[in-house]
């Protein structure tokens, strides 16, 4: 492997945005592997699922919403705590910012460090970062499930906001439209995009995906990648994410049990995964973080350690230098 630019600092190309309707009043805002947002319209207010990284970037989501409805944005739902998902929340002037207790706890514990870390890793995704007023703080926090019985054009629309298990983080939150069977998964599911697992619970993640699959979604908006418009597409996204997690963690765990050092395990895991997953978006960015977290979980750290900008650079130099 040749030495690579740190994380995604060399990724400077803006991606074209798609705004796709999955069902009546339910939309996916996607950008060829950049972080997705979801939009759900109800008579009582619009939901935005994942806010984008800055208030300026959020304005493009607002513009797409205004192209389909005049109903105000009332809810911003955070699928998890990562800065690239949450720091744009103030751009919607929403009444409620909704998060799980686990997500709230992570913002308290490590939100500041994560913000500086992520901005350094992927500057393009933080356009007009100076517009960010600070950390995003939820004002509606739930433990396991929040169910809102609303309407859309006078017909019932049940919006379930739930924490169904650990995976990408300890606070992962989904949004489920019960009548339409449309799932907004956040980064629990990716499609043709490499899962970032630096804050993950890798042993638990596949079981959480099993729970999502048991819901039998008819359409699914992953954290990254194209909107999945059929049950077969949904299964493909779930299977692909599960396959990556198991293959990556399995390789690292085997190396750790054999007493190999992290650097050697990283090189072996990269070689094993690259033929199948190497063309996925941000593969080279994610894998050093992924393998480091997997090694931690397989050895002495059941809970993810805090990433800082300084730790990012040290890790990258040790594995890619």
pLDDT in tens, 206-218: 999 999 999 999 9
Which secondary-structure segment (H or E) carries 36? strand 34-42
pLDDT at 102 over 80: yes
Residues 247-251 have a mean pLDDT of 98
Q: Taking a C-beta distance cutoff of 8 angstroms, is the pair 37, 29 a contact?
A: yes
Residue written as token pair 């990283």: 266
Could you give the 3-state DSSP secondary structure of residue 67?
Answer: coil
Residue written as token pair 């069977």: 181
Would you call 137 exposed, middle or buried from its count of C-beta atoms within 10 A (0-12, 13-18, 19+)? middle
Instruction: Give residue 116's pLDDT.
Output: 94
Residues 34-52 have a mean pLDDT of 97
Could you give the 3-state DSSP secondary structure of residue 192?
Answer: coil
Distance, in Å, from the CA atom of 27 to the CA atom of 109, rounded to the nearest integer, reads: 32
Distance, in Å, from the CA atom of 80 to the CA atom of 141, rounded to the nearest integer, reads: 12
Distance, in Å, from the CA atom of 197 to the CA atom of 177, rounded to the nearest integer, reads: 27
All structural domains of the chain: 18-240 (3.60.15.10)
Handedness of CA 227, 124, 293, 116 (dihedral sign): negative
With cut-offs at 50, 70 and 90, classify the pLDDT of residue 321: confident
pLDDT at 230 over 60: yes
pLDDT at 11 over 80: no
Instruction: Give residue 9's pLDDT.
Output: 55
Q: What percent of the chain has pLDDT over 70?
A: 96
Least confident of 119-123, 245-249, 265-269, 290-294: 119-123
Question: What tokens were used for 4?
Answer: 């690579």
pLDDT at 124 over 60: yes
């Amino acid at each position: 492997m040749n030495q690579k630019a740190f994380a995604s600092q060399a990724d400077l190309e803006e991606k074209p945005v798609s705004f796709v309707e999955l069902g009546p009043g339910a939309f996916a805002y996607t950008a060829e592997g950049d972080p997705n947002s979801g939009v759900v319209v109800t008579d009582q207010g619009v939901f935005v699922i994942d806010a984008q990284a800055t208030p300026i970037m959020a304005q493009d989501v607002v513009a797409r919403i205004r192209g389909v409805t005049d109903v105000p944005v009332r809810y911003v739902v955070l699928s998890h705590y990562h800065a690239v998902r949450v720091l744009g929340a103030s751009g919607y002037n929403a009444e409620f910012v909704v998060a799980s207790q686990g997500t709230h706890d992570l913002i308290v514990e490590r939100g500041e460090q994560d913000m500086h870390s992520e901005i350094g890793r992927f500057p393009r995704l933080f356009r007009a970062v100076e517009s960010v007023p600070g950390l995003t703080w939820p004002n509606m926090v739930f433990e396991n499930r929040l169910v809102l019985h609303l309407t859309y054009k006078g017909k019932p629309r049940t919006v379930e906001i739930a924490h169904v298990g650990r995976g990408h983080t300890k606070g992962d939150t989904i949004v489920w439209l019960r009548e339409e069977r449309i799932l907004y998964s956040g980064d629990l599911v990716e499609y043709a995009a490499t899962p970032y697992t630096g804050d993950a619970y890798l042993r638990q993640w596949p079981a959480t995906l099993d729970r999502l699959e048991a819901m039998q979604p008819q359409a699914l908006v992953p954290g990254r990648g194209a909107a999945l418009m059929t049950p077969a597409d949904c299964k493909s996204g779930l299977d692909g994410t599960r396959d990556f997690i198991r293959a990556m963690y399995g390789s690292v765990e085997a190396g750790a049990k054999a007493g190999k050092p992290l650097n050697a395990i990283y090189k072996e895991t990269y070689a094993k995964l690259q033929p199948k997953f190497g063309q996925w978006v941000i593969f080279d960015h994610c894998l050093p973080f992924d393998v480091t977290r997997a090694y931690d979980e397989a050895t002495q750290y059941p809970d993810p350690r805090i990433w800082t900008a300084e730790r990012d650079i040290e890790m990258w130099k040790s594995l890619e230098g």
